Each structure stands twice: as structure tokens, then as C-alpha cells.
Amino acid sequence: MPDSLKNVDSERNYGIDLLRIICMVMIVIHHVLLHGGILREVEWFCPQYKEAWFLEAGVFCAVNAYGIISGYVGYGRTHRISRFISMYLRLIFYTLLTTAIFAFISSGLVTREVVRNAFLPFGYEVYWYCTAYFCLFFFMPFLDRMMESLDRAGARRFLLIAFILFSVMQTVYHKQFAYTNEGYSFLWLALMYVAGAYIRKYDVGRNGGTVRYFSVYLLSVIFVWIAKMGTEHFRYLKTHEYTESVRLVNYTSPFIIVCAVFLVLAFKDLRIGISIKKAIAFLSPVSLDVYLIHDEPLIRENVIIGAFIKYLALNPVLMPGAVIGTAVVIWLSGSVIGRFRILVFKLLKIDSFCQWAERIVTAVVGKWLER
């Protein structure tokens, strides 16, 4: 094995990087189903309805898994400001580029508000996940300190209390019990970070086996799907009206959390060959780029929304493949653009700029804190 690969191997977990890629494909599938109009327009209880919601149940845990991965890889590391600056520049690279393209194609779509949002994506929640991560970034060192100060029993108690308050009770009462915004929030992402830090600190599930953990994930998905279908069918028999039930298909759902946790456990100790490692090392760094591109508001509203309703006319045997295939194409396209963005950033020496900006910020803030 080349020395360079040995050095990289010692610093990164390729199983987690592979899961990061898979989770991004899952997120794209979710957006194809949701924004693409399939879940909104599909006829109740037809074969396509059952298939679409089975896919949705299977992929919905991806965002939670991403949050857990953040804690798993972030715990014990130095949270450098240069990394945050780099992330901000990556965001505005895509928001400004997309805004410029749409202004050229159809200037009526680009308002002052759109331009403002393109420059300040964190402040105006252009991407909800990135806004939540923006808040989380500044609390990561304190969350790490908390995990360091707690013994294993104390960390378990913390996670158990959080699970009961923010997941179980939220699901039972099915309202904003603890104002987690159903998982679309900094608070929820912070809890996922702590869960990932706990897994990393205590090497949870080291000897469990990938197949066993993946089986738990799959069983949880099946349970969520059966519970949803069963609940809706029972309500129809009782009221003769179709009423959608998404109580368990929710970021704060206990079973969606189980899915996310066991996916991380399944991949964190996965053994991967050298050739596959090279592909993972090439694709993993642009996973976030895929999200930033396809879910950019102008692209989402003018390209993605309602674009895949036509899949409902397909044979039920073909529809799941069409959804997954479309998601893979979007992911591949976003990955190619992401690699181009990396090349542009290298030519512009963005990493050096971020390190310089970090030194400036650290010096200024350090003087202020010393007063």
C-alpha cells in the first residue's frame, strides 16, 4: 500500500465516508419523492402509493445519519474557523452561480430578495440544514467538552432523557412538545451530534457486525411502513376518509432514529478494498455539493418541483427504479460539478485564504476576549 494511502487511512474512516455518499443519494431520493410531486399526487393505497412510501420510510433517516456522522467524525477534533469559512464560501459559490445563471435565462425569477439570500444563505435559511449546522458549529467544542466530562453512565442518562423528551414524547403527542420543529432545527442536529460523539468515544457496536446492524435498520423501515399503511387503512375503515399518517415518518420519530443509528453502526467498521477507497475518497468530499446544487431554491422551485409526477404513470414494477435512477443521475451530476468546484477553489487558493482569515478572526476575537 502506498505511504500516502496509509497516511490517509489513519485519518479517515472509509465506511463512514461511504455512508455519507449513500445518505446523500437517500436525501436526493427523498427530494425526488417530495419536491418532485410523487408523494403529493399519488393516489391513495394504489401500488405506487405503497412503493413511494416504502422508499420514503427507507431514506428518511439520512439527515439524522448525517448529523450523527458529524458527531462521530467531529468529536475530539479541533473545530477550526477556516473550515466554517470554507463552508460559507462553498454555499455562496452555488447560490451566486445559480442566481447569475437564472438571471441570464429569465431575469424575472431573480428578485432583490433572491440576490440578498444568495449572499447571506445562513441568515435567511436558504438551506435549513446549513443554517442549523452554522449554529451547531460554534457549540461543537462545548458539546465535546460535555462528552469528555461525562462518564459512560452519565452520557447514557443524557441521551436517554433526550430521547424520551425530544423523540418519544414528541411522537406520542404529535406536536411541538419541545419545539424541535420536527427535527428541522439546530437543537435536533445538536442531539444527533452528541449521539455520534458517544458512538465515537465508546466505540459502540464494534463487534456487532455490518449485516446484523443493517438488518435492524431494514426491520425498522419495514415497521414504520407497515405502521403507516395500517394506521391509514384503519382510519379509512372507521371514517371512510383518507387521512395521511406521518407520525413515524419524521426526523424525531424513535424508529427513524433507530434507522440512522444502526446505519452508522453498520458502516463505521466496514472493511473496504483499496480500489473502492479511491472512489470513496474522490466522491465523498463533494457529497454536500450535491445537496447545495439540487436543493438550491431557484433550482428546486423551477426544475425539481412537480417534475417527477409523470413517474406515477409507470408500471408499479418500474416506478421505484425510475425514482432511484433519477436520484443517482442527480447525485452523479452534482458530484461532477462538485469536483469542478474543488478545482476552482484550488486555482483560487481558497484554502490559503480561509487559513489567513482564520488567523485574523482568531487574533481579533482573542484580543476582545482578553479584555
Spatial distance between the Cα atoms of 274 and 9, rounded to a whole number of angstroms = 10
Per residue in 14-46, pLDDT tens? 999 999 999 999 999 999 999 999 999 999 999
4 pLDDT more than 60: no
177 pLDDT more than 90: no
Helices 47-59 and 14-34: crossing angle in degrees, nearest 10, is 140
Residue 145 corresponds to which amino acid? R
Note the pLDDT of residue 168. Answer: 92
Phi and psi based region of residue 111 (left: phi greater than 0; alpha: psi -120 to 50; beta: remaining): beta
Spatial distance between the Cα atoms of 179 and 166, rounded to a whole number of angstroms = 9
5 pLDDT more than 50: no
Spatial distance between the Cα atoms of 148 and 104, rounded to a whole number of angstroms = 52
Note the pLDDT of residue 152. Answer: 96
- Residue 257, burial from CB neighbour count under 10 angstroms (0-12, 13-18, 19+): buried
Spatial distance between the Cα atoms of 17 and 268, rounded to a whole number of angstroms = 9
Note the pLDDT of residue 6. Answer: 38
Q: The whole model's pTM is what?
A: 0.93
- Residue 242's pLDDT band, with cuts at 50, 70 and 90, is confident
Q: State the average pLDDT over residues 72-83.
A: 93
Per residue in 302-358, pLDDT tens? 999 999 999 999 999 999 999 999 999 999 999 999 999 999 999 999 999 999 999
Give the CA distances from residue 72 to residues 16, 123, 264, 338, in Å, rounded to whole numbers and listed in that order. 9, 27, 9, 24
Which helix (H) or strand (E) segment holds residue 151: the answer is none
- Residue 179's pLDDT band, with cuts at 50, 70 and 90, is confident
Instruction: Look up the domain containing 145 and give its range.
Output: 3-369
